[in-house]
Structure 1
């Protein structure tokens, strides 16, 4: 029996339609993935966990960052910042694998600046971090650290061997976009000028306390622009 041209054309159409439907769906998924913002890894300071990031992470989510791209990472803040940097390297690899992203943004507060900078400088982190943020980081040390003990406190003291190494040569290595925010009223970072880095976007905020750098709306808006 010879099939009519009309019947053959109809059969061909039935075979093609599923392909036409499936292709745009796949293309849309790939497009959405490409347009998604970089995952953000939040690195806290001398705190027991990442709970202080709740306010800032919620603002990013309200502004369109998917929840699975907002990683509030917790670590043991009593260990050396160099040790923490190796843990951070593992965490960033985990986030990249989970999200399929090629790079992350890193937002830090206080001591979190030091371990993340060590990662960027010594552990090839600059190739995997698009934008980096330091909110009140003791990048050149703080006199306040003379009142506490343990490896990380010793490393935060002005003139420490850790800081000499971290700040030798290029303070902002690689193609990462570095940004720092310091407050003239920060009673933890002393001197407040310690925060700024050569080669970074260095901002001075309104009169804010050390912890308020994480929650102030004006600071958030500037940070969001920097990482976007």
Structure 2
């Protein structure tokens, strides 16, 4: 279990928050949280707890394999399967952290998410790649390298993202997404957050508040 997953699980354990809020506000979409590489839904539990306290119905998903050994597209297909089973015909919002942000974007652009998703919020996502992906030779990491054929192809129809409320948060102190401005997209409301490290993007109170504000738009 990664540090982010351990911290999220520990905070949620001591807080005692339920899996799904018993009293979400009826005028809001349910929210699906998508974790990053090498992680699980446990790393998103603190963000989930915060949003539930703010009145959202929140769900988390476990992407497998979580090192993206088979690529980004099969992971995005898991969002599609989860949404069809859990939400039926309901619209929903997506919040993705790190690799999960890119996976969420792929679902919106290529797998029908435009017809289902109102808000797309990403935190420190490698939308334009990260040089750290050169350290891992599997398919998903090759796809997340700057200038990869996968990212170049995905950029061809990125203007589709203008049909959703797209917000991209990132920190200038990120040592995982390099360069840090790789998270910026011309179709997004790009917000720079002074967060000390990549994993803290899903725990920092300023980020949590900003995610909630983006979902309220």
Q: What is the TM-score with the length of structure 2 in the denominator?
A: 0.83
Q: Report whether the alignment pairs 1:87 with 2:78.
A: yes
Structure 1 residue corresponding to 2:136, chosen from 145, 148, 156: 148
- 2:50 corresponds in structure 1 to 59
Structure 2 Cα separation of the partners of residues 189 and 71 of structure 1: 25
TM-score normalized with structure 1 length:
0.79
Alignment correspondent of 1:226: 214
Contact 1:40/1:105 (<8 A) preserved:
yes
Contact between 1:132 and 1:178, CA under 8 Å: does it hold in 2? yes
Distance 1:212 1:33 in 2: 26
Shift in Å at residue 55 of structure 1? 0.7
Structure 1 residues without counterparts, runs of 5 or longer = 1-31
Report which stretch shifted further, 139-148 or 101-110.
Answer: 101-110
Greater gyration radius: 1
Q: How much is the aligned-residue C-alpha RMSD, in angstroms?
A: 1.8
Query: Which residue is 1:111 aligned to?
Result: 99
1:37 equivalent in structure 2? 28
Shift of 1:172: 4.6
Quickly say closer, same or farther: Cα 1:149–1:227, change in 2 above 3 A: same
- Alpha-carbon offset, residue 34 of structure 1: 8.5
- Measured after TM superposition, the shift of residue 171 of structure 1 is 4.2
